[in-house]
């Protein structure tokens, strides 16, 4: 028997009459429908029109997400260290890996390559020395002669000799690896009980990496390997925040900052020649926010000089290190206003609002970053608590670089369904997804962070249009010139179409 299409409508009307008679009023379902549609259209990707093939993939993604949410261990609600193996076996994650994600706009130089490669490749090279600090961290140096002792560090040992004497080399290599990353198989809550402990281990990890990565031959290979890993994760462009350290040679001599930048540029060119569907990379020069004003003035002057000498490759300037313990942007106002005073262009890409300490000097960084005309905001975790800054960021198209896993590991948010970017995404606030320090967190490229954003704070309302928009945002909000953006977007679109057709058969 055929069911009349009128039936549901009749039922609704009867129900309405019933409630009207009983004195209650049910809101108009058509109005409800219209409001829901309006909200859905306001979110990131809400205006993206999907092709038939895209709609098929979107339906598949929706089904996968529903299944994921039903699981007892829902990865975004867990600490990433404990969720990683679950994510790695998720079919959504496997799609995230294959998806062309555009550019990675917030990644740091010393944490772009998996530590596994550092241990297996770099620490096995000849002339590599190691010492243990008095609080159980380690330091490295490559040297043609026995290196001079460091304060508060045991005597240097040649790793080659140490390995020859060690009964279980796997154990030794694991302990080295453990020093270079925060990732652990133990309970993350007990290993990292507070933000202070995380940041301390973070800083010790960077000091351990320093001597390995800033050795000239390693430096080239490291960066090339980093590009290789991001490329393998289907990232086609990179804006790297780089300290531009002075690179050293085996005889202990050092090169200058320009040499470091030139090396980055040469390796990038070589890589894009080898991989024509990789668009390239640009550098954001960074300095630790713990320095004093005179050091900052010199750094800004150096940045202006580099910006002039490498206009196509330098993207701008930023500060790194923990915001809560470093100096606020306002402290450096005289240094940061130098470019404007001298009529020199030096774009800023400030980290700001990577804090949960509301109302402190550091909490003002968001507003100050915008007052200094920042091009993007790194993290912007506190943006929701600053309506004026949020409004300025939106109106000026200053994108927020959201790094979900980083924020969770540094204990700003526990359950990634509760990340503040959920609110930003619901109103299509300018934003991109990035990974900050993937090697430190044991994540790879951008895919793990895309997974957390899409499945975690994206919830069931984010869809393929959201992902498409986020990928396009990463080009639109990059430091590339408009014509370069057009080129990058065309390249991305070709890769995207291929991805859709390969996954909708
Ligand atoms: C280390 O990496 C370099 C550069 O990618 C490569 O040429 C070399 O073969 C690797 N060495 C080892 C021992 O894996
Ligand atoms: C380790 O020692 C350094 C100084 O050598 C200090 O800055 C750091 O806070 C110490 N870390 C821990 C975990 O004690
Ligand atoms: C070395 O240690 C690893 C990890 O603890 C262990 O799996 C492996 O069996 C050990 N190898 C030997 C030869 O004892
Ligand atoms: C760092 O290395 C030292 C020396 O090998 C080791 O004692 C310590 O356990 C390592 N730390 C981590 C977190 O793995
Ligand atoms: C700033 O720091 C540098 C390097 O640590 C130091 O040499 C210099 O004396 C400091 N300047 C002032 C004014 O404190
Ligand atoms: C920021 O931009 C405004 C408008 O272009 C300009 O007037 C101001 O000088 C800039 N401020 C800084 C610190 O660059
Ligand atoms: Zn960062």
Q: pLDDT tens-digit profile of 381-425? A: 999 999 999 999 999 999 999 999 999 999 999 999 999 999 999
Query: Taking the chain, what is the end-to-end CA distance rounded to the nearest angstrom?
Result: 36
Report pLDDT for 417: 97
Q: Is 170 in the pocket of ligand 3 (CB under 6 A)?
A: yes
Ion ligand 7: protein residues whose beta carbon lies under 5 Å: 436
Nearest atom within ligand 5 for CA of residue 292:
1
Question: Has residue 10 got a pLDDT over 80?
Answer: no
Task: Please tell me the residue having the least CA distance from ligand 2 atom 12.
Answer: 135
Q: Is 294 in the pocket of ligand 5 (CB under 6 A)?
A: yes
Which residues face 140 on adjacent strands?
130
Distance 341 CA to ligand 6 centre (A): 10
Q: What is the mean pLDDT of residues 157-166?
A: 98
Which residues face 215 on adjacent strands?
248
Question: Has residue 2 got a pLDDT over 50?
Answer: no
pLDDT digits (tens, 9 = 90+) for 32-78: 999 999 999 999 999 999 999 999 999 999 999 999 999 989 999 99
Question: Has residue 358 got a pLDDT over 90?
Answer: no
- Following DSSP, what letter does each residue of 198-266 receive, concatenated? HHHHHHHHHHHHHHHHTBHHHHHHHHHHHHHHHHHTT--EEEEEE--PPPB-TTS-B--HHHHHHHHHH
Q: What is the mean pLDDT of residues 11-18?
A: 54
Structural domains present in the chain: 93-112+212-499 (3.20.20.140), 116-201 (no CATH)
Q: What is the Cα–Cα distance from 40 to 167, expressed in whole angstroms?
A: 60
Q: What is the Cα–Cα distance from 94 to 447, expressed in whole angstroms?
A: 9
Distance 245 CA to ligand 2 centre (A): 22
Question: Has residue 4 got a pLDDT over 70?
Answer: no
Question: Has residue 13 got a pLDDT over 70?
Answer: no
Report pLDDT for 7: 53
Task: Please tell me the residue having the least CA distance from ligand 6 atom 9.
Answer: 340
Question: Has residue 12 got a pLDDT over 70?
Answer: no
Q: What is the Cα–Cα distance from 140 to 132, expressed in whole angstroms?
A: 9
Task: Please tell me the residue having the least CA distance from ligand 1 atom 14.
Answer: 121
Task: Please tell me the residue having the least CA distance from ligand 5 atom 4.
Answer: 295
From the number of C-beta atoms within 10 Å of its C-beta (0-12, 13-18, 19+), residue 159 rates as buried
Percent of the chain exceeding pLDDT 90 equals 92
From the number of C-beta atoms within 10 Å of its C-beta (0-12, 13-18, 19+), residue 227 rates as buried
Q: Is 18 in the pocket of ligand 1 (CB under 6 A)?
A: no
Question: Has residue 456 got a pLDDT over 70?
Answer: yes
Residues in the chain: 505
Q: What is the mean pLDDT of residues 325-354?
A: 96
Question: Has residue 299 got a pLDDT over 80?
Answer: yes
- Backbone phi and psi for residue 81, each to the nearest 5 degrees, phi listed first: -60, -35
Q: Is 200 in the pocket of ligand 2 (CB under 6 A)?
A: yes
Q: How far is CA 471 from CA 99, 212, 430, 486, in A?
A: 9, 33, 12, 14
Question: Which of 307, 334, 338, 340 to mutate to test ligand 6, by most ligand atoms within 8 A of the CB atom?
Answer: 340
Nearest atom within ligand 6 for CA of residue 339:
14
Q: Which residues are annotated as catalytic?
A: 354, 379
Say if residues 328 and 353 touch (Cβ distance below 8 Å).
no
Report pLDDT for 376: 98
Antiparallel, parallel or unpaired: β 280-288 and 314-320? parallel
Q: Is 166 in the pocket of ligand 3 (CB under 6 A)?
A: no
Report pLDDT for 326: 85
Q: What is the mean pLDDT of residues 130-158?
A: 96
Report pLDDT for 357: 85
Percent of the chain exceeding pLDDT 70 equals 95
Report pLDDT for 276: 97
Q: What is the Cα–Cα distance from 450 to 467, expressed in whole angstroms?
A: 8
Say if residues 415 and 87 touch (Cβ distance below 8 Å).
no
pLDDT category at 17 given cuts 50, 70, 90 is low
pLDDT category at 1 given cuts 50, 70, 90 is very low
Report pLDDT for 3: 39
Q: What is the mean pLDDT of residues 258-264?
A: 98
- Backbone phi and psi for residue 491, each to the nearest 5 degrees, phi listed first: -65, -45
Task: Tell me the average pLDDT of the chain.
Answer: 95
Q: What is the Cα–Cα distance from 466 to 180, expressed in whole angstroms?
A: 34
pLDDT category at 360 given cuts 50, 70, 90 is confident
- Return the ∠ at Cα 415 (arms to 414 and 417), rounded to 5°: 145
Q: Is 135 in the pocket of ligand 2 (CB under 6 A)?
A: yes
Distance 121 CA to ligand 1 centre (A): 6
Report pLDDT for 15: 53
Question: Which of 131, 163, 179 to mutate to test ligand 4, by most ligand atoms within 8 A of the CB atom?
Answer: 179
Q: Is 497 in the pocket of ligand 2 (CB under 6 A)?
A: no
Report pLDDT for 9: 52
Q: Is 297 in the pocket of ligand 5 (CB under 6 A)?
A: no
SS3 184: coil
């Amino acid at each position: 028997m055929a069911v009349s299409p009128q039936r549901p409508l009749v039922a609704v009307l009867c129900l309405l009459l019933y409630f009207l008679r009983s004195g209650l009023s049910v809101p108009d379902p058509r109005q409800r429908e219209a409001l829901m549609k309006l909200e859905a259209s306001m979110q990131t990707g809400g205006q993206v029109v999907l092709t038939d093939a895209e709609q098929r993939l979107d339906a598949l993604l929706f089904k996968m997400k529903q299944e994921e949410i039903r699981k007892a261990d829902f990865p975004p609600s867990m600490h990433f260290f404990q969720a990683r193996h679950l994510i790695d076996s998720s079919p959504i994650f496997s799609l995230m890996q294959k998806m062309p994600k555009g550019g990675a706009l917030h990644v740091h130089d010393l944490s772009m390559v998996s530590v596994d490669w550092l241990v297996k490749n770099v620490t096995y090279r000849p002339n590599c020395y190691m010492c243990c600090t008095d609080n159980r961290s380690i330091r490295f140096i490559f040297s043609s002669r026995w290196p001079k002792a460091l304060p508060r560090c045991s005597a240097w040992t040649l790793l080659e000799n140490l390995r020859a004497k060690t009964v279980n080399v796997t154990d030794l290599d694991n302990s080295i690896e453990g020093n270079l990353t925060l990732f652990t198989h133990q309970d993350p809550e007990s290993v990292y009980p507070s933000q202070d402990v995380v940041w301390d281990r973070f800083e010790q990890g960077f000091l351990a990496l320093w001597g390995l990565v800033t050795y000239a031959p390693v430096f080239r290979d490291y960066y090339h390997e980093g590009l290789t890993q991001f490329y393998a994760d289907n990232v086609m462009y990179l804006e790297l925040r780089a300290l531009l350290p002075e690179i050293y040679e085996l005889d202990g001599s050092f090169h200058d900052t320009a040499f470091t930048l030139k090396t980055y540029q040469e390796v990038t060119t070589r890589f894009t020649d080898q991989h024509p569907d990789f668009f390239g990379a640009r550098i954001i020069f960074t300095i630790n926010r713990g320095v004093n004003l005179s050091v900052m003035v010199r750094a800004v002057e150096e940045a202006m000089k580099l910006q002039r000498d490498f206009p196509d490759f330098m993207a701008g300037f930023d500060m790194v290190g923990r915001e809560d313990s470093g100096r606020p942007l306002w402290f450096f106002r005289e240094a940061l206003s130098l470019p404007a005073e001298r009529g020199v262009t030096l774009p800023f890409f400030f980290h700001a609002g990577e804090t949960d300490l509301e109302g402190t000097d550091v909490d003002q960084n968001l507003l100050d970053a915008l007052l200094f005309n920042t091009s993007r905001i790194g993290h912007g975790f506190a943006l929701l608590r600053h309506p004026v800054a949020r409004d300025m960021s939106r109106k000026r198209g200053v994108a927020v670089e959201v790094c979900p896993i980083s924020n969770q590991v540094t204990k700003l948010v526990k359950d990634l369904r509760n990340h503040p970017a959920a609110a930003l995404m619901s109103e299509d606030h300018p934003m991109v997804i990035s990974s900050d320090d993937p090697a430190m967190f044991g994540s790879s490229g951008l895919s793990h962070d895309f997974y957390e954003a899409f499945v975690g704070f994206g919830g069931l309302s984010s869809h393929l249009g959201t992902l498409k928009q986020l990928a396009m945002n990463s080009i639109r909000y990059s430091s590339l010139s408009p014509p370069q953006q057009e080129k990058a977007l065309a390249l991305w679109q070709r890769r995207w179409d291929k991805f859709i057709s390969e996954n909708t058969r």
